[in-house]
Chains A and B, each alone.
Chain A
Amino acid sequence: MSYTRYLLYAFTCFVGIQSSAQSNFEGLGESGFALNKRFSSHYKFNFALRSRYYMYQDDALSFENRQLDFVHFSTLNLDYNNALSLGVQYRLRASIDGGSNELRLTQQFNYTKSNQALRFGHRFRFEQRILDELTIFRSRYRLALDFPLNGEKLDIGEAYLITSMEGLLSIGAKIKPELDHRTTSQIGWLISETLKLQLGLEYRFEAFNIKTEERLFLLTSAILKI
């Protein structure tokens, strides 16, 4: 635990130094609404709608819509700790900011391990991002840590914290291999048995092996269990 904490501290300092030195920085917001439904102890699905918008670009505050995502995930729980998921996502961008629409297929394996109140999540994802003119194959690994802020169990009305780090590798016939890194920290509230609200920040280093672009996301979401 303390090791992870030190790593997080070190990384936060690193982010601070980097962001003050770079000028190619953008600030965006992403708001989402997700529905989760469990059909049996083995199978559950997730449907989400997400909207992304610019809030800060070209060194000035500005609001501009960027895209809408329609996401579906089907998850097969292998047992208490392991789960396999398949996802499909459609990104609507052409009619919003002129970028390419995208169809994304995702295969995912997730492993969680709990230690008292702390829960570690290891997520492996493989994605095929089918854009108008190219297809990008992306592999990603995310280490997440989450825990309730009061006690060892998350009760209704209580808050929880999720932090995660993710590394991404994108390859495609028409692009140079690209490496990305994302650090996310979110606070959530279990409002009722069925509703959660989450608010957080995500810092992205995109294509840091080519020419780093930095992006800060303000994340807001509502998650409803039906």
Chain B
Amino acid sequence: MRLDVLLILLCFGQLALSQTKNEKEERILLSEFPVAAQKVIETLPKHCKRINFYKETDGQKHSFEAKFKYKGKRYSLEFSNKGIIEDLEVLTKFKTLDEGKSAAIKNYFKSSFKKHKLIKVQKQYIFNPQFESSEFVNQILSQKTSIAPKFEIIAEVKVDKQRELREFEFDSEGTFISFRIVNQTSYEHVLY
């Protein structure tokens, strides 16, 4: 009898598998990166630690990401399918943001939601083609860049008595631009 149940379960599993969107993040080797992106990676400072390479697939769209640690900070460098830099993100603590900007962001959350909890805060430097790729990256790493970052914040907010996980985008002054709902994935083990 137990076998029957398992078989039915597996069938259900297959059905669900065939219906889901092809969205995937996988770890790959540097050699699998687009050549242009490999060249940028080679120019990174020697002290970059724990560098990992990822490929993200969303339907037909591919992008590439290199994540690393430099001088105690976590960076994530994203490339397009052709190996052109899209942005460089750095994980930050909210309290380290400039006072004016953090006040504007805080104000937005307070006035828009009954409750909020910040989960992840990142500064996002969008690539500007007037710079050379390696120059763009190294200026940010050495904190000498003239580019003002945007802010990307993942927060749990309460909307109509329901809690939602959202990714918010704020401009370089801390003004709200947009948000998207983050799928909590099925990352819940029976353990919790």
Contacts and interface: CB of A to CB of B under 8 A. Distances in A.
A42 interface: yes
For chain B, the bracket of interface size reads 35 or more
Contacts of A190: 186
Interface in B3-48: 5-6, 9-10, 12-17, 20, 23-27
A29 B188 CA distance: 24
Given A79-B156, A222-B6, A193 B192 contact: no
Nearest to A191: B13
B178 interface: no
A153 B25 contact: yes
A25 B5 CA distance: 32
B189 interface: yes
A47 to B, nearest CB: 10
Contacts of A83: 192
For chain A, the bracket of interface size reads 35 or more
Contacts of B24: 155-157
A222 B190 CA distance: 10
B117 A79 contact: yes
A185 B7 CA distance: 26
Which secondary structure characterizes the binding site on chain B? mixed
Contacts of A225: 186, 188
Interface string B164-192: 11000000000000000000011111111
A150 B12 contact: no
Which secondary structure characterizes the binding site on chain A? strand
A77 interface: yes
Contacts of B187: 153-154
A41 interface: yes
Given A79-B156, A188-B189, A195-B9, 16 more contacts: A31-B2, A42-B163, A46-B190, A48-B190, A80-B117, A112-B192, A151-B25, A155-B25, A155-B26, A162-B189, A162-B191, A191-B10, A192-B16, A194-B12, A223-B189, A224-B12
Interface of A: 31, 33-34, 36, 40-42, 46, 48, 75, 77, 79-80, 83, 110, 112, 116, 121, 123, 144, 146, 150-157, 160, 162, 164, 188, 190-196, 198, 221-225
By Cβ-Cβ distance, the 9 closest A-B pairs, closest first, are A41-B163, A192-B16, A195-B13, A192-B17, A192-B13, A80-B156, A151-B25, A191-B13, A155-B24
